[in-house]
Structure 1
Amino acid sequence: MIPLSTVIFDVMKKDLRFRLVFLVDEEGMLLREFLHSKGISKRTLTATKYEGGHLTVNGHEQNVRHRLQLGDEVAIIFPPEQPSEGLHPEDGPLDIVYEDEAILILNKPPGQSTIPSRDHPGGTVANYVAGKFVRDGLPATVHVVTRLDKDTSGLICIAKNRHIHHLLSEQMVSSGFHRQYVAIVEGWVKENCFTIEQPIGRKDGSIIERMVREDGQFARTDVEVQHHFEKEGHALTRIALVLHTGRTHQIRVHLQWAGYPLAGDDLYGGTEHWIGRQALHCATLSFRHPLTGADIQFDSDMPADMQNISRIR
């Protein structure tokens, strides 16, 4: 593997800043108005102007008050991005499901944190992605669109640019971004399909735990039963879940509230007798591609430790 220090020198030799190119299909618009119609925010334009980006029309740099003509070619070259001080690029394995110039889809194993923290400053998905960007010569930082808890496995979406992150975040707000999980819970879930709509907030006296509470944030989780089974005389249920909101520990808190804690989730009422981590896996991500508008979907099989629980009756 190429040392990071070797590649950092190489980055300076070529311009791999993220860029978008558009053809003008309407006469007389201001450049600012045209770019806003393409989803470029005012904040992004400001950053482009003052942080090392460029706006060009037919190859010539222009300001946002430039009036466009039909057929003009508009390019926005986004400014280079730097990782935050707490994010150090590292060499490490990444299970890449899909990658293009805008997004990176990864399959995260259980036991790995998504982003650095005081307890886990290195070895995270973000550290390894930052290292990959350096090796690839990309002047970009890591924008985590969908984050998973350390012991939750499955699909994660990373944006390669803050504009792409902005577009995907808007999809999440408008319910255009779908996340489906599979889980194994303790107990025999009686209803085949139901929705949990309960507000979630921080548990008093804890900086980690959340709970259902009236003054919490709105949260909605759809639940569908896939399979009932028994292990050592104990009832267990495999379920599929769809998140409509993204509150911290949402699935874990909602299932505890419903009386069906995740197997292995000792923080929220489960037992580690069958599995040493919460039996939760992000199995599907589906959304519109932020550049092409095409509907795309990615799937990930349930990992071996969760499959092993289902096999033993």
Structure 2
Amino acid sequence: MEETKWVISEEHNKERLDKAIVKLHGEWSRTIIQEWAKEGRIEVNGKAAKSNHKVQSGDEVVVYPKEPEEIDIVPENIPLGILYEDDDVIVVNKPRGMVVHPAPGHPGGTLVNALMYHCKDLSGINGEIRPGIVHRIDKDTSGVLVAAKNDKAHEHLSRQLKDKKTERIYKTIVHGNIPHEHGTIDAPIGRDPMDRQKMTVTDKNAKDAVTHFNVIERFGNYTFLECRLETGRTHQIRVHLQYIGHAVAGDPKYGHRNTLPINGQALHAARLGFVHPSKEEYMEWEAPMPEDMDGLLDDLRKKS
């Protein structure tokens, strides 16, 4: 696997190396990082470092990941919030904190493990690790997601995503008071050269990215937004809102240190719509707001 590099920012100054890497990467477990450190796979400023090493801002950290072992996906009887299901697709409401597909550090407990238990067949276009997965939402983003049960349905849905014909509406709580009722963020997104696990607005090796937003409610220091994705880049809404100075509340990767009490970013995939692969008619589903975000909104209303 390709090495991963970071330059430690002030945010992680004097933090344990293993804890800092967990926050910077997001998909490696602390246990795996500690194992790699014992094997000499983690360097700080060119020298092998122990997992309890305290990093300093400006340090260059390099991780040489171990080649992942083949993951045998085990079907798991995990409850699914099924919104719709037929022979072609299954639409679910993914809870916050659930990883979509297995990866090093997350071999089980994922949405794919749950789907493998529930569904007899899933499309094989994305391989054994991501069967049926047409699009992803981040681990700590909740909401509507569709999986394909056969290759024909998968190709049909993927084409709609590519042609910008799906409807994807998110709701989010962001820092600051956005003065405009609505707006469009049209800014290309690519890998952050300083942190390969983050995305950023850049002109280098970037893809076009467009997010439309409408203000639902204002609370002084916070704003409740509805966002519509025109494109679907990695972390798009989180990156775009940070770019305009209104980071998503609770976002551990792109947000503020002092934020609202929520475990992960306050971002919810509220609505998904597409033309059904076999019925050839437009269909749409909504996922209710998760309790933690509803609770935050109630608290903000009481204080404003």
TM-score with structure 1 length normalisation? 0.68
- 8 Å contact from structure 1 (residues 229, 310) kept in 2: no
2:229 match: 243
Query: Aligned to 1:89, which of 63, 75, 99?
Result: 75
1:29-68 to 2 correspondences below 5 Å: none
2:248 match: 262
1:93-104 to 2 correspondences below 5 Å: 93-104=79-90
Give me the whole-angstrom Cα distance separating, in 2, the residues matched to 1:286 and 1:140.
20
Give me the whole-angstrom Cα distance separating, in 2, the residues matched to 1:184 and 1:248.
19
1:229 match: 219
1:163 match: 152
The alpha-carbon deviation at position 301 of structure 1 amounts to 1.3
Give me the whole-angstrom Cα distance separating, in 2, the residues matched to 1:166 and 1:123.
26
Give me the whole-angstrom Cα distance separating, in 1, the residues matched to 2:74 and 2:200.
33
Query: Aligned to 1:220, which of 210, 216, 220?
Result: 210
1:94-173 to 2 correspondences below 5 Å: 94-133=80-119, 137-138=120-121, 141=124, 142-173=131-162
Q: Secondary structure at the match of 1:88?
A: coil
2:177 match: 188
How many residues align structurally?
A: 223
The alpha-carbon deviation at position 132 of structure 1 amounts to 1.5
1:303 matched to 2:303 = no
Amino acid at match of 1:294: E
- 8 Å contact from structure 1 (residues 264, 273) kept in 2: yes
- 8 Å contact from structure 1 (residues 283, 299) kept in 2: yes
- 8 Å contact from structure 2 (residues 275, 281) kept in 1: yes
1:275 matched to 2:267 = no
Structure 2 unaligned runs (5+)?
1-69, 125-130
Q: Secondary structure at the match of 1:301?
A: coil
The alpha-carbon deviation at position 163 of structure 1 amounts to 1.4
1:72 match: none
Query: Aligned to 1:284, which of 246, 271, 279?
Result: 271
Give me the whole-angstrom Cα distance separating, in 2, the residues matched to 1:247 and 1:177.
14
1:15-30 to 2 correspondences below 5 Å: none
Q: Which stretches of structure 1, 4 residues or longer, exceed 6 Å deviation after superposition?
A: none
The alpha-carbon deviation at position 266 of structure 1 amounts to 2.5
CA 1:101–1:258 in 2, change beyond 3 Å: closer, same or farther?
Answer: same
The alpha-carbon deviation at position 304 of structure 1 amounts to 1.0
Give me the whole-angstrom Cα distance separating, in 1, the residues matched to 2:275 and 2:298.
36
Q: Secondary structure at the match of 1:207?
A: strand
The alpha-carbon deviation at position 140 of structure 1 amounts to 5.3
Give me the whole-angstrom Cα distance separating, in 1, the residues matched to 2:164 and 2:182.
20
TM-score with structure 2 length normalisation? 0.70
The alpha-carbon deviation at position 272 of structure 1 amounts to 4.0
Give me the whole-angstrom Cα distance separating, in 2, the residues matched to 1:191 and 1:86.
49
The alpha-carbon deviation at position 139 of structure 1 amounts to 7.1
Identity %: 38
CA 1:140–1:293 in 2, change beyond 3 Å: closer, same or farther?
Answer: closer
- CA RMSD in angstroms, aligned pairs only: 1.6
